[in-house]
């Protein structure tokens, strides 16, 4: 904040505090009794508005709020660049709360940090901790039940784009993932898009009436095998999904598959390294355990 704007804010704050104080005392009828029959001259539906001063308790309450405001602005930031005599900041408050939480919960995480993820995944208490971490950090995309949504993978099955082994899951959570399915319209044309979509759907047993499947296969073998492999089973190293298992991240309808091929897709899994190794360990174990029944 520049000095000009800091001074502007301080000036406005002081002026308005003084103005409110002046209005409060200037309109105080201290020399008159608390009750009077004088009216303001306003009458509505036979009800006259009396010209009485504020009750003393109400007046003192207003005075107390002004005093509180002055004390607050001296102790805490609120006057431009003036930090307040206590030196309080939001960042400092957050860091102190984090320190208290770390001191309280660090011993709990320490019990599991040296255990293999496979063992932690089978521990009930660790599972409850991992579930709360997941709800806080992951459910906004993958859902509270971890079954995902359009564009967000289901974590409860055994279909993994980047690999489902504990180390691979840990890498995905810690470092994030950036998937890129390039747009192919300019390369293969509209007819190529339709035929390739028909062939891709046929890999998982879906009907594609009216499409030249053989032509789509040729386009696939020329342009798509580098990522998805000649058999269409994908490549976890590249984040290329398996196209033969009838699991579709962006939908399996003809229009959806065509759009994926035509315009491409870009998925982003944000890195969660800020959680720290202990929480990442618990979170990876929880995610790994979600699909243990299918392993």
The reply to whether 142 sits in an annotated binding site is yes
* Closest C-alpha to 255, from 195, 205, 204, 197: 197
CA distance 63 to 66: 5
- The answer to whether 184 and 262 are in contact (CB under 8 A) is yes
Tokens of 210: 């009216």
Q: What is the DSSP letter of 85?
A: T
The reply to whether 228 sits in an annotated binding site is yes
The reply to whether 181 sits in an annotated binding site is yes
Burial class (CB in 10 A: 0-12, 13-18, 19+), 233: middle
Q: If you search the block for the tokens 């704050």, which residue do you land on?
A: 13
The reply to whether 224 sits in an annotated binding site is yes
State the chain's maximal CA–CA distance in angstroms. 101
List of residues 6+ apart from 107 with CB closer than 8 A = none
* Strand ranges in 51-190 using DSSP code E only, listed in sequence order: 177-181
**Helices 277-290 and 124-137: angle between axes, nearest 10 degrees:** 100
Query: β-strand 265-269 against 39-44: which pairing, if any?
Result: unpaired
The reply to whether 274 sits in an annotated binding site is no
Distance of CA 191 to the CA centre of its chain: 40
- DSSP assignments along 152-202, one per residue: B--SSSS--SS--SHHHHHHHHHH-EEEEE---HHHHHHHHHHHHHHHHHH
Q: If you search the block for the tokens 């784009």, which residue do you land on?
A: 161
Binding site as annotated, residues = 138, 141-142, 181, 224, 227-228, 269
Binding site as annotated, residues for heme c = 138, 141-142, 181, 224, 227-228, 269
């Amino acid at each position: 904040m520049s000095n000009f704007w800091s001074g502007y804010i301080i000036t406005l704050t002081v002026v308005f505090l003084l103005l409110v104080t002046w209005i409060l005392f200037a309109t105080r009828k201290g020399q008159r009794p608390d009750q009077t029959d004088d009216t303001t001259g306003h009458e509505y539906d036979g009800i006259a508005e009396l010209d009485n001063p504020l009750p003393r308790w109400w007046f003192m309450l207003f005075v107390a709020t002004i005093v509180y405001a002055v004390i607050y602005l001296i102790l805490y930031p609120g006057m431009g660049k003036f930090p307040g005599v206590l030196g309080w900041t939001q960042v400092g408050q957050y860091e102190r709360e984090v320190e208290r939480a770390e001191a309280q919960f660090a011993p709990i995480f320490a019990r599991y940090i040296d255990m293999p993820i496979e063992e932690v995944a089978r521990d009930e208490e660790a599972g409850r901790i991992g579930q709360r971490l997941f709800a806080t950090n992951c459910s906004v995309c993958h859902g509270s039940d971890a079954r995902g949504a359009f564009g967000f993978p289901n974590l409860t099955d055994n279909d993994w784009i980047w690999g489902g082994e504990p180390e691979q899951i840990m890498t995905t959570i810690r470092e994030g993932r950036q998937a890129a399915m390039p747009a192919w319209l300019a390369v293969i044309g509209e007819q190529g898009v339709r035929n390739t979509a028909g062939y891709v759907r046929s890999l998982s047993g879906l009907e594609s009436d009216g499409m030249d499947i053989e032509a789509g296969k040729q386009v696939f073998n020329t342009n798509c095998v580098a990522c998805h492999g000649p058999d269409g089973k994908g490549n976890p190293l590249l984040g290329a999904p398996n196209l033969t298992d009838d699991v579709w991240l962006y939908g399996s309808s003809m229009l959806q598959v065509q759009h994926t091929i035509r315009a491409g897709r870009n998925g982003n899994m944000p890195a969660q390294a800020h959680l720290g190794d202990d929480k990442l360990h618990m979170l990876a174990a929880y995610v790994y355990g979600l699909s243990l029944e299918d392993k």
